[in-house]
């Protein structure tokens, strides 16, 4: 009896284990056959981590191949919330908020997500990265990325612009040519151990394609000179804003372009729209007397007057329809040449009346006003020019002297360059070349003629008049010792909100080129609301003088050195 019971018990135990073994076998077969893909994916997710590999953004250079942008290595911090306990998360929130200067609610909202990968903070400083590592918080990791840096800080800020955290262009050239600069990202799947620590072993990888490099027409030295002198005037006259453009009159290449106020490209987070705005191409203003150059050119080109023809300037007061026009200094009889030299409003208006509205408008348009010039920068505007059919009875006394029209500094630079180069309106540009990382030129800009505006003879005759403006007229403060130059002053009243002209808000400007006989550069200086002085000949002309003197000297020296280097290279044995 005892043996029988013992045998039944053994058989029962054996049968139990046999059934358990069969069940395990079926379960194992089920897992291996029917659940293998699902469980394999879970395993891969635990031990493999997909990561996008960021390309290096292309470098922006000046015309001398001096880098205006850099890509610096930076660590970006991430976390794996799925592997963190609530206690670990709260510890991380408390410590990281102090180290990274982040709001605790922000950290809590990220760390309590049901995800295997979340960014904590991108592109942190080396000190922050070191502090995070010392904290020894579990399930945090770093990804090495690149951070855009601007070595010249404020220099050419509205031209270069900046890129955001994800290295996407947001302003200036960084935005305009983002498709070339940003490159194409790659990707990699790297392995993790059982503790979820990243191993430097990639299972699969596709390498990123780095962005292309941009060569500007901007010369870093010329840009510095222009910004230095503009900054002096901007601060000395407590101006609301200011712009300067330095341009090669024969090609349209922009050698320097600057605005005030400006900003540090490395500290762009809290910068206002006013600081970012490229005033030289997107701000509209009435040019004032600098616009008289157009009327003078039209009169000579149409052969209506010669330089010594005399015009009676009404002793300072002249009635045009229901408006009385005044000169800042009363004049009697002046020659045509003297009208321009002394900037007589009345003399210029009488010349315009002789020409007629149609011809004046024709030359305004020929010189490029009222339309975009096509510069390769974002934000250019076309200005504002009325057709003659919309002119009032007083317009013939306003438009020729730079009122009732809206222009940009860029348009003035291009128009004056047409006089400096013998009558050709050139398309301005700031991009010289686009190259890939192997140095292959993808795109190259060359000078583009927009149209012939006036004859070379007319341009030479206007140049002599503008030389007289500096030597004998309103632009004496633009005189450069040992160097002849040509230019025109401008002082324009700004419009108030009610449409009336202000008596205490002005735009002071000066346009000129040097040397007068063989121009190297055209320069436009515009100062918005200078105080207490506001005349263009006082405020803007000295800026032209200082910039032109230094830039012409620098460019000639640069040309001599380039010639010597070429000569030495030719003499070397081959």
Just list the catalytic residues: 289
Contact by Cβ (8 Å): 539, 241: no
Count the helices and strands in the chain (H runs, E runs).
19, 21
Most distant CA pair in the chain, distance: 150
Phi and psi, residue 262, nearest 5°: -130, -170
Contact by Cβ (8 Å): 169, 175: yes
Measured at the CA of 480, the angle between CA 466 and CA 535, to 5 degrees, comes to: 60
Residues 6+ apart with CB under 8 A from 556: 520
Contact by Cβ (8 Å): 246, 409: no
| Pairing mode, strands 333-335 and 310-312 | antiparallel
Residue that the structure tokens 């000949």 belong to? 537
CA-derived radius of gyration, the chain: 35
User: Starting at the edge strand that comes first in sequence, how are the strands of the sheet with 241-247 ordered?
Assistant: 254-260, 241-247, 521-528, 501-514, 486-495
Residues 6+ apart with CB under 8 A from 554: 221, 222, 225
How many CB atoms are located within 10 Å of the residue 448 CB? Answer: 13
Contact by Cβ (8 Å): 459, 282: no
How many CB atoms are located within 10 Å of the residue 536 CB? Answer: 33
Query: In this structure, what token pair is assigned to residue 60?
Result: 């922006």
| Pairing mode, strands 186-192 and 140-149 | unpaired
How many CB atoms are located within 10 Å of the residue 215 CB? Answer: 20
**CA of 333: how far to CAs of 219, 314, 329, 346, 490, in Å?**
46, 8, 13, 11, 22
CA pair distance 308, 171, nearest whole angstrom: 50
Contacts 24+ apart (CB under 8 A), 1-9: none
- 82 upstream amide cis, omega within 30 of 0: no
* 297-329: burial string, b at 16+ Cβ within 10 Å, e else: bbbbbbeebebeeebebbebebebeeeebebee
Measured at the CA of 107, the angle between CA 103 and CA 113, to 5 degrees, comes to: 155
CA pair distance 265, 522, nearest whole angstrom: 27
| Pairing mode, strands 431-435 and 323-326 | unpaired
Query: In this structure, what token pair is assigned to residue 258?
Result: 């600057």
């Amino acid at each position: 009896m005892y043996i029988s019971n013992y045998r039944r018990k053994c058989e029962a135990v054996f049968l139990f284990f046999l059934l358990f073994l069969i069940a395990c076998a079926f379960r194992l077969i089920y897992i291996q056959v029917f659940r293998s893909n699902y469980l394999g994916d879970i395993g891969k997710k635990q031990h493999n981590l997909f990561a996008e590999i960021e390309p290096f953004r292309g470098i922006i250079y000046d015309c001398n191949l001096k880098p205006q942008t850099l890509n610096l290595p930076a660590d970006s911090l991430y976390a794996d919330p799925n592997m963190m306990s609530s206690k670990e998360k709260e510890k991380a929130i408390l410590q990281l908020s102090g180290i990274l200067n982040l709001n605790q609610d922000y950290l809590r909202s990220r760390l309590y997500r049901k995800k295997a990968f979340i960014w904590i903070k991108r592109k942190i400083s080396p000190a922050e990265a070191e502090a995070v590592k010392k904290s020894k918080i579990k399930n945090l990791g770093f990804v090495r990325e690149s951070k855009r840096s601007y070595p010249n800080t404020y220099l050419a800020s509205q031209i270069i612009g900046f890129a955001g955290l994800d290295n996407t262009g947001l302003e200036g050239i960084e935005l305009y040519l983002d498709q070339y600069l940003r490159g194409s990202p790659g990707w990699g799947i790297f392995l993790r151990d059982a503790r979820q620590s990243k191993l430097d072993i990639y299972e699969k990888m596709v390498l990123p394609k780095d962005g292309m490099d941009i060569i500007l027409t901007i010369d870093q030295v010329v840009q510095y000179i222009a910004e230095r002198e503009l900054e002096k005037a901007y601060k000395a006259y407590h101006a609301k804003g200011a712009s300067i453009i330095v341009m090669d009159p024969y090609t349209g290449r922009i050698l320097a372009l600057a605005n005030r106020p400006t900003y540090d490209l490395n500290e762009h987070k809290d910068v206002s729209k006013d600081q970012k705005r490229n005033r030289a191409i997107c701000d509209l203003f009435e040019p004032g007397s600098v616009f008289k150059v157009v009327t003078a050119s039209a009169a000579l080109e149409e052969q209506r007057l010669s330089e010594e023809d005399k015009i009676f300037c009404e002793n300072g007061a002249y009635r045009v329809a229901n408006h009385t026009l005044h000169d800042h200094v009363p004049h009697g009889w002046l020659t045509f040449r003297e009208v321009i030299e002394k900037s007589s409003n009345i003399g210029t208006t009488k010349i315009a009346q002789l020409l007629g509205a149609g011809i004046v408008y024709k030359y305004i348009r020929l010189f490029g006003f009222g339309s975009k010039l096509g510069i390769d920068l974002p934000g250019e505007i076309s200005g504002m020019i009325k057709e003659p059919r919309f002119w009032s009875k007083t317009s013939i006394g306003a438009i020729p002297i730079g009122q009732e029209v809206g222009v940009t500094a860029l348009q003035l630079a291009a128009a004056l360059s047409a006089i400096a180069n013998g009558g050709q309106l050139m398309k301005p540009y700031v991009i010289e070349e686009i190259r890939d990382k192997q140095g292959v030129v993808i795109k190259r800009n060359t000078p583009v003629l927009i149209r012939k505006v006036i004859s070379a003879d007319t341009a030479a005759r206007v140049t002599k008049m503008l030389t007289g403006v500096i030597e004998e007229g309103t632009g004496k403060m633009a005189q450069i010792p040992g160097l002849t130059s040509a230019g025109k002053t401008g002082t324009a009243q700004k419009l108030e909100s009610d449409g009336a002209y202000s008596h205490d808000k002005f735009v002071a400007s000066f346009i000129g080129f040097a040397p007068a006989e063989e121009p190297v550069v055209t320069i436009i200086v515009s100062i918005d609301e200078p105080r207490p002085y506001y005349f263009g000949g006082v405020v803007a002309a000295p800026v032209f003088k200082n910039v032109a003197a230094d830039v012409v000297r620098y460019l000639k020296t640069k040309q001599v050195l380039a010639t010597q280097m070429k000569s030495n290279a030719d003499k070397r044995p081959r």
